[in-house]
Structure formats: C-alpha cells, structure tokens
C-alpha cells in the first residue's frame, strides 16, 4: 500500500470529496423562506393597534415588515431561477426566452403575494 | 424610492447568485462537520437563512472580497451551537453525530477503501481547528486566505495550522499503518 509514504494531500483530496446536496434541499429552503414570510404576515395581522402606543412594542412589527419584504423577494428570485433551464430549453430565441422569464417572474410574484 | 427598489432587487439577485454558487460548498462543509445528511441539511438551511438576514451588511463590509468564507463561518458557528446544545441533552451525545462519513464512488471503494477510511479516521482524531482547516482546504478547495477569514485567524497562522494538521495526520496514519 502507498500509506504513509504516499502524498497525504492526494489522499485527503480523495477522502474529502465535495458532497452534492440532496435534490430536495433547495425546495425545502424555499419553503422555509415562505414559512418565514407567512409567520411575519401573521405577526402583522395579529398585532393590536393599541399595543403600538407603547414604544417598547415597536420593534416586532418593524422586524416583521422587513422579513416579509426580503424573504418574499428572495423567494421569487429563487423560484424563477429554478425554472430557467426549462425555459431555455423550450424558448424559440432570446425574445421568446425574455418573454417567458418575465411571465414567470410575474407568476411567482403573484403566488408569493397570494400566500 | 425607485433607486431603493432597484438596489434591493440587485441585492436579492446577488444573494440568489451566492446561494447557487455556494450551496454545494456549504452542504459539503456541513456534511463533513456533522457527519450525517439530516443534520447537514438543517445546518445548510439555517446557514443560508442567517446569511440572507445579514447579507446587505456583509456585502458592505466585504469590500469586494468573496463571501464564501463568511458563509462558511456562519455554518461553523451554527455547527458549534448544535454540538453545544446537544451536549446539554443527556439522551443525545456529541459522538452520535460527530463522525466523518465518507462519500465515495464505487471506483474509490474498489481502489482504496481501507486507505481512505484510515485517512478519514485520522482526520477525525485531529483537534477541531485542524480538522476544520483540512475540510475547508480539501473538500471545499479554499485557499489559505479564505480559510483564515472563515476561522478568524491570520494568513500566517492558517498556513501553520494547515501544515501542522497535515503533519499530525501523517503521524496518525503512519502509526496506524505500522500497527497493522
């Protein structure tokens, strides 16, 4: 055997190969972003106006607004990106691809807003 | 207002690019750190969620440098928290999840399973910082500067750390080879 005289770095490269993430991880991550968005919406909806009189309570709704906006936008981007290969495959030229992508962005944005 | 909206869209697009570019890196690090796919998925997910929350500030502070070390540092800190939390629970020991599991092709298994298993076992025996530095170098292909940023060390200290990790691993594997 080549151990220990063999190049230990070569052996390390073979032993510590990069690991591909499972197929479901991306969709799970997207779902978590959606959950985050929904939780933030619920937080806003359930907030009683009278509580806003107390400045100590201002932090939570502000955080909820920020989380809702940022998570929702990221979700649209991730979803549109996820379908890009499929659109490239079926598109008839760059103009058609741009139209399909714009349509996908609008569709995904509507889906996120509806949630 | 329009300028704000445009910069936010750009920011989100850049985060999506970061996510696509480094999902495999973060997952590989998480997998070798925690030793199983279930926890590695959780760790990867938490890493990107936390990264998203702090992305704008990290970008501003990065001064144009790559953000991969920052991502790996988040994963590193979250993994440390995971171990700390589990060590407080008597029913689940750290050893249950600390194994370095091998991910290899059939060809690897035929050609040198024992040899690779010895290497992985040796890596597992190393102190945490040396083990992590080797994972970053060999599983993720990070250079000294990136590893230094991820571990919060200087470039020089990282170079020494990697050198000592490899020398110690050689010693461990050599001793094992002599015994067998």
Q: How far is B22 from chain A (nearest CA, A)?
A: 11
Name chain B contacts of A20, Cβ cutoff 8 Å: 24, 27
Which residue from A4, A78, A111 is spatially nearest to B45, judged by alpha carbons?
Answer: A78
Residue B3 confidence (pLDDT)? 45
For residues A61-81, one letter each, b for 16 or more C-beta atoms within 10 angstroms of the residue's C-beta and e for the rest, the string is: eeebeebbebbbbbbbbbbbb
The DSSP 8-state label assigned to residue A16 in this structure reads: T
Question: How far does chain A reach from its first CA to its final CA, in angstroms?
Answer: 60
d(CA A33, CA A56): 27
Segments of chain B with pLDDT less than 50: 1-3, 91-98
d(CA B35, CA A16): 12
Both tokens of B57, joined, read 């500030």
Both tokens of A44, joined, read 């806003």
Residue A5 confidence (pLDDT)? 43
Residue B152 confidence (pLDDT)? 94
Burial class (CB in 10 A: 0-12, 13-18, 19+), B132: buried
Residue B148 confidence (pLDDT)? 97
Out of B12, B31, B166, name the one closest to residue A19 (CB): B31
Find residues 114-153 of chain B whose CB sits inside 8 Å of chain A: 114-116, 118-120, 123, 134-135, 137-141
The helix/strand/coil state of B2 is helix
Which residue from B141, B145, B171, B140 is spatially nearest to B158, judged by alpha carbons?
Answer: B145
d(CA A98, CA B104): 40
Both tokens of B81, joined, read 């928290």
Q: How far is B170 from chain A (nearest CA, A)?
A: 7
Residue A54 confidence (pLDDT)? 61
**CA B53 to chain CA mean position, Å:** 20
pTM, two decimals, is 0.66
Could you tell me the mean pLDDT of each successive run of 10 residues in chain A, 115 residues long?
63 93 81 62 56 60 61 65 70 72 69 56
The DSSP 8-state label assigned to residue A49 in this structure reads: G
Residue B40 confidence (pLDDT)? 93
d(CA A95, CA A5): 59
**CA A90 to chain CA mean position, Å:** 24
Residue A3 confidence (pLDDT)? 44
Residue B164 confidence (pLDDT)? 96
Residue B97 confidence (pLDDT)? 40
Domains and CATH numbers, chain B: 1-99 (1.10.1740), 102-180 (1.10.10.10)
Torsion sign, CA atoms B81, B83, B86, B88:
negative
- What are the residue ranges of helices labelled H in A1-91? 8-15, 24-45, 59-82, 84-90
Name chain A contacts of B16, Cβ cutoff 8 Å: 74, 77-78, 81
Name chain A contacts of B114, Cβ cutoff 8 Å: 1
């Amino acid at each position: 055997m080549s151990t220990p005289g063999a190049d230990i770095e070569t052996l390390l490269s073979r032993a510590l190969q990069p690991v591909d993430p499972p197929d479901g991880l991306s969709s799970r991550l997207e779902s978590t972003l959606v959950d985050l968005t929904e939780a933030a919406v619920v937080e806003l909806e359930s907030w009683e106006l009278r509580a806003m009189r107390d400045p100590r309570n201002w932090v939570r709704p502000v955080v909820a607004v920020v989380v809702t906006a940022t998570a929702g936008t990221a979700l649209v981007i991730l979803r549109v990106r996820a379908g890009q290969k499929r659109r490239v495959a079926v598109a008839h030229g760059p103009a058609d691809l741009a139209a399909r992508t714009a349509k996908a962005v609008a569709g995904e944005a509507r889906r996120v807003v509806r949630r | 207002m329009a300028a704000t909206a445009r910069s936010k869209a750009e920011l989100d697009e850049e985060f999506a690019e970061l996510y696509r570019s480094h999902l495999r890196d973060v997952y590989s690090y998480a997998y070798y750190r925690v030793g199983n796919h279930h926890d590695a998925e959780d760790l990867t997910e938490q890493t990107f969620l936390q990264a998203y929350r702090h992305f704008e500030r990290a970008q501003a502070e990065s001064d144009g440098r790559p953000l991969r070390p920052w991502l790996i540092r988040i994963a590193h800190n979250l993994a440390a928290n995971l171990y700390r939390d589990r060590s407080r629970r008597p029913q689940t020991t750290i050893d249950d999840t600390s194994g370095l599991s091998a991910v290899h092709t059939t060809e690897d298994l035929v050609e040198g399973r024992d040899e690779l298993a010895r290497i992985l076992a040796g890596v597992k025996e190393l102190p945490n910082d040396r083990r992590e530095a080797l994972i970053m170098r060999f599983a993720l292909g990070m250079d000294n500067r990136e590893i230094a940023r991820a571990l919060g060390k200087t470039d020089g200290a990282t170079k020494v750390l990697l050198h000592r990790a490899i020398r110690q691993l050689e010693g461990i594997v050599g001793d094992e080879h002599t015994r067998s």
